[in-house]
Structure formats: C-alpha cells, structure tokens
Amino acid sequence: MPVMLGVMPVKLSVMPENELKKRMFQQMTFSMKFGFIVLIFGSFCLPVIAQDETVQITLAPNVLLNRLDVTLGDVAQVRGGDSVQLRRIRSIDLQRLDDEKSCILSAEFIRLRLILANYTEDKLQFRGADQVIVQLDERTASIEQILQQAIEQAVSDRVEYPISSVQVRILQPIQRHWGINASQLVTLTPKIILPEGSILGRQSIVVHIYDREHLYATRSVPCEIAILQDELRLTRHVARGEVISVENTVLKERFLTSSAGHLTLKNALGRRVRRPMEVGERLSSHDLLPENENTNSDLVIKSRSAIRLIAKMGRLEITVPMAEALQSGRVGQIIRVKNLQSNRIVNARVVNAEEAVVDLGFRK
C-alpha cells in the first residue's frame, strides 16, 4: 500500500490542565454511555470469545504516535493467552486522533472496548496507568522511518499478520546513499516490491519512488525482516528417542527472522527427538527423527482400545477396569485416556498393551 513520503513540521506541546480536565470529562461521559449500551445489549447480541487464560493489559501513561489511528497495542503491553488471541487484542482499534491531534483513553474505556469486541470481562486484568494520554508526534520523520513503515505494511499485507506482528530493521543509512534529501520527499510516494518466496531475514527490498504518476527513481533498501511467531521450547530435559508431548513443551512468542526448521506443536506431537535436549532449548524440525522413522511397529496401545486404568498415589493403587485409549501410544509415552465409569479424561503413562498408569506426576 503506497505511503506518502512527507515532512511534518516540529510541533510538540503539553496539554493545559483545564483542557486536560475537559478531555477527561468527555472521555468519562462517553465511557458511561458506551458501558450502558454494552450492559443493555451485550449479553443478548454478542457471543463471548472463549479465553482459557487471563490476559494482562499494562497501560502506559503517555504515548507518542506517528499515525492517527490508535490501537490497543500502541498504548499497552498485552501478555497471556495464545498468540493468535494476543495479535487480535493488540490490533483492536481504540480511536482516531482528532484535529487537536491528542486524546485521553481511560482504562475503563479500553475495558468496555474489549467487552464490545466479545472478550470475557473476568479474564481481563488491567495494570499500569488509569488513563493514557496519546499525542501525535509531529517531529520530522526520517527517510528510514518512512520506508520502515512502508515495508512493514507491505509485509503485513503479504503474510496477513497485523502490522504490530511485523518488525523491519533497515541495515544502512538511506539518505547518505540515495542522494535524496528530506526537502525532496514532500510529493514522493514509495511502492514496495517484495521478493518472491520467503521474505524473512536479510533482504534487499526494491523501492520504486513515484512523483505523482511518474517514476522518479528506483532504489534498493537492505533490511532485516522478522515476524512474531510461536516458538516451541522444552520445559524439561528430554533423552534421545523420547516422544514429544504437551507435557514437555511450551509455546513462546518471538520475532523470528527465519522459517527454517520452524515447528508447530501439532507437527511435533508424537515424534521422537534425535538427541538429548535441555530445558528451554528451542525445538526445530531438525531435532526430530523423520516421520517415516517414527513407525507404528512399537505401538502397544492403539486409539479406541479398551484398557485398564491404574491410579497410583504413593502405596495406594486403584484399578479402573473400564477405560478407553484416546490416542495410540508406546511404552512410557503419555496418552489421553477416558475413564468410562466417570467419563473423565486423564493423561496416563503406557505400561503395556493392556494398562496405563496415572500417578501424581502426570495428573491434571
């Protein structure tokens, strides 16, 4: 998407106290009306989005932006929940800066905005400031900043991720090598040409610069591109040949500059590691045996098989004669088993073709 290359004059001001109070009153009035609408219509019209974990939202007291549209990710740090949910929350639109190029967003207003977006109120935990003062940063943007934003927007459009999940770092000063100074950029528009195939890591991005409809110049921008993705890490030591499961892995969000070896939990579950690995180590596809080497020849329990479920706690042992394996498994592997007497699903360790054990270390 073309982005105008413009130079904005320096104009930073501190809001007078009486104007600040006026803004706060307007914000509180709007929040009360907004809350009344949600209270009356919310429970009847809006399906609640399922949230397994509490989302922590830490508000900053003051924010300077170089664009008019304000999103939640601009004014707060958002933690907790899965990565898809976090990206959605960070991209929620809060407000567009008005002619005065500033606004005040209260924590209550942001809470109501999230409720209107179908998020569960008791799963939202607010921290930090009670309100955020947002102002437009009208300092002159450098050529690097303008191009960085244009490339981030182009990458966001290509991979269909929110722009807050894209990170671009320009690797060398642009103005020094381009021969274009800031005063020449007022009427120029860049068009970003991304390379075919993978766009992560170090890239040389072609930029066509237009003066209205006429091509003014073509330049190359060396940069490094990263995308916020889930990374699979180990929660404990695993031995060579051990099977990957939800018990020994965790997903961590990170900006990744390469997709080589990137692994999802779905693709990793049930496969064996080819070497010993330590706590916190990143798990990639190179660390796992090929799927054709993860044969079913040593599977002792097959999915939907009738087995006995043994519960152990110290010296106490209880046998449930009627249970159903919900996954296939090898000896020592943790699988999901359904207790047919209580219909409860538990994680159990495979002992042999007929038995699986639940002990204190694996109970949920």
Instruction: For residue 69, give every residue at least 6 positions away whose Cβ sits within 8 Å of its Cβ, in sequence order, or none.
Output: 93, 96, 97
Torsion angle defined by CA atoms of residues 239, 245, 246 and 247, in that order, rounded to the nearest 10 degrees: -40
What is the CATH classification number for the domain harbouring 249?
Answer: 3.90.1210.10
pLDDT tens by residue, 30-46 = 545 444 444 444 443 43
Q: Which domain holds residue 327?
A: 306-358
pLDDT tens by residue, 325-345 = 998 887 778 889 999 988 999
Q: Which residue has the higher pLDDT, 147 or 22?
A: 147
Same domain, 35 and 106: yes
Query: Average pLDDT, stretch 111-140?
Result: 84
Q: Given 171, 192, 227, which residue is the final one in a domain?
A: 227
Is 337 within the bounds of a domain? yes
Query: Average pLDDT, stretch 345-355?
Result: 87
Highest mean pLDDT among 106-115, 116-125, 214-223 belongs to 106-115
Same domain, 22 and 131: yes
pTM here is: 0.47
Query: Average pLDDT, stretch 63-92?
Result: 84
pLDDT tens by residue, 189-228 = 788 999 888 889 999 999 988 877 788 888 888 999 999 8
What 3-state class would DSSP assign to 18?
Answer: helix
Signed CA dihedral, 250, 251, 254, 259: sign only: positive
Is 91 within the bounds of a domain? yes
pLDDT tens by residue, 97-108 = 766 678 899 999
Is 11 within the bounds of a domain? no
Domain count, the chain: 4
Same domain, 189 and 277: no
Same domain, 222 and 236: no
- Does position 136 have pLDDT exceeding 70, yes or no? yes
Q: How confident is the model at residue 168 (pLDDT cuts 50, 70, 90)?
A: very high
pLDDT at position 41: 41
Is 7 within the bounds of a domain? no
Is 171 within the bounds of a domain? yes
What is the average pLDDT score of the chain?
78
- Does position 14 have pLDDT exceeding 50, yes or no? no
Same domain, 279 and 314: no
Q: Which residue has the higher pLDDT, 182 or 48?
A: 182
Same domain, 128 and 21: yes
Q: Given 136, 155, 178, which residue is the final one in a domain?
A: 136
Query: Average pLDDT, stretch 129-143?
Result: 77
CA distance 35 to 29: 10
Q: Which residue has the higher pLDDT, 265 or 236?
A: 236
Q: Given 252, 269, 293, which residue is the final one in a domain?
A: 293
Same domain, 85 and 173: no
Same domain, 150 and 91: no
Same domain, 71 and 132: yes
Please report, rounded to a whole number, the percentage of residues in the chain having pLDDT higher than 70: 76
Say which residue the tokens 């073709």 belong to: 353
Same domain, 286 and 317: no
CA distance 145 to 141: 6
CA distance 226 to 224: 7
What is the CATH classification number for the domain harbouring 347?
Answer: 2.30.30.760
Q: Which residue has the higher pLDDT, 185 or 85?
A: 85
Same domain, 147 and 88: no
Is 2 within the bounds of a domain? no
Is 9 within the bounds of a domain? no
pLDDT at position 15: 52
pLDDT at position 340: 92
